[in-house]
């Protein structure tokens, strides 16, 4: 068993504007750096052995801040943890996206589906967990993984059988989601949100 704590990256100016980032590489803003420090303060009560991150700047910088606060080695970058590709929707304001495409499940030219995101992200988490089990068996490792709202949402949707997150429920920047990974299984343990 491996404990995996997924953290959504801190705020960016595009988050503040309610603009779809997708794979566009947007840096954290000052509030986003505060989100990362808040997440580190919440994670500090537990021992963690390693940190991983999406290679996109906003996730990587969040992970670097958390790693520095918790005295962990630099984050390992995992391309399959990157945010959903939104194709023609990238850079659009959320209301304009909804007006153009209807909802988040719509087929958008050049975009990944939520299912495709979930499949690649789940495979990435299982690879990370397998490596951790090989490194530390028989002791369980606790890992931090910094990723994106679309990735975390797709994983929560998968493990809950589509019952979570609830319709309209936002995954806040800096939010924390704890999972337990076992061979072939991922289970949601708890979620905490930035207020």
Buried b / exposed e over 30-59, threshold 16 CB at 10 Å, is ebbbbbbbbbbebbeeeebbbbbbbebebb
Express each pLDDT in 113-170 by its tens digit: 989 999 999 999 999 999 988 877 666 799 999 999 999 999 999 999 888 888 778 8
Considering the candidates 48, 61, 83, 90, report the single residue annotated as catalytic.
83
According to the model, what pLDDT value does residue 195 have?
Answer: 36
What pTM was computed for the model?
A: 0.95
C-alpha 42/C-alpha 69 separation (Å) is 11
Q: Is 83 part of the annotated catalytic residue set?
A: yes
According to the model, what pLDDT value does residue 66 have?
Answer: 98
Among 31-35, 56-60, 181-185, name the one with the lowest average pLDDT: 181-185
> What is the distance, to the nearest Å, from the Cα of residue 168 to the centroid of all Cα atoms in its chain?
18
Architecture field, domain 2-192 = 3-Layer(aba) Sandwich (3.40)
Among 86-90, 93-97, 105-109, name the one with the lowest average pLDDT: 105-109
Total Cβ atoms within 10 A of residue 181: 23
Give the start-to-end residue ranges of the domains of the chain: 2-192
Q: Is 9 part of the annotated catalytic residue set?
A: yes
According to the model, what pLDDT value does residue 116 have?
Answer: 95
According to the model, what pLDDT value does residue 24 have?
Answer: 97
């Amino acid at each position: 068993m491996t404990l995996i704590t997924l953290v959504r990256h801190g705020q960016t100016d595009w988050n503040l504007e309610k603009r779809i980032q997708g794979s566009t590489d947007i840096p954290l803003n000052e509030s986003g750096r505060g989100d990362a420090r808040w997440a580190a303060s919440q994670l500090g009560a537990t021992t963690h052995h390693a940190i991983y991150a999406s290679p996109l700047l906003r996730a990587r910088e969040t992970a670097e801040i958390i790693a520095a606060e918790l005295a962990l080695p630099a984050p390992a970058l995992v391309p399959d943890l990157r945010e959903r590709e939104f194709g023609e929707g990238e850079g659009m304001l959320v209301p304009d996206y909804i007006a153009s495409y209807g909802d988040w499940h719509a087929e958008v030219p050049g975009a990944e589906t939520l299912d495709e995101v979930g499949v690649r992200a789940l495979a990435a988490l299982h690879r990370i967990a397998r490596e951790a089990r090989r490194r530390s068996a028989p002791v369980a490792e606790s890992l931090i993984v910094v990723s994106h709202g679309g990735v975390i949402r797709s994983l929560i949707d998968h493990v809950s059988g589509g019952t979570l997150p609830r319709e309209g429920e936002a995954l806040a920047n800096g939010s924390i989601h704890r999972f337990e990974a076992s061979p072939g299984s991922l289970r949601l343990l708890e979620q905490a949100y930035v207020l």
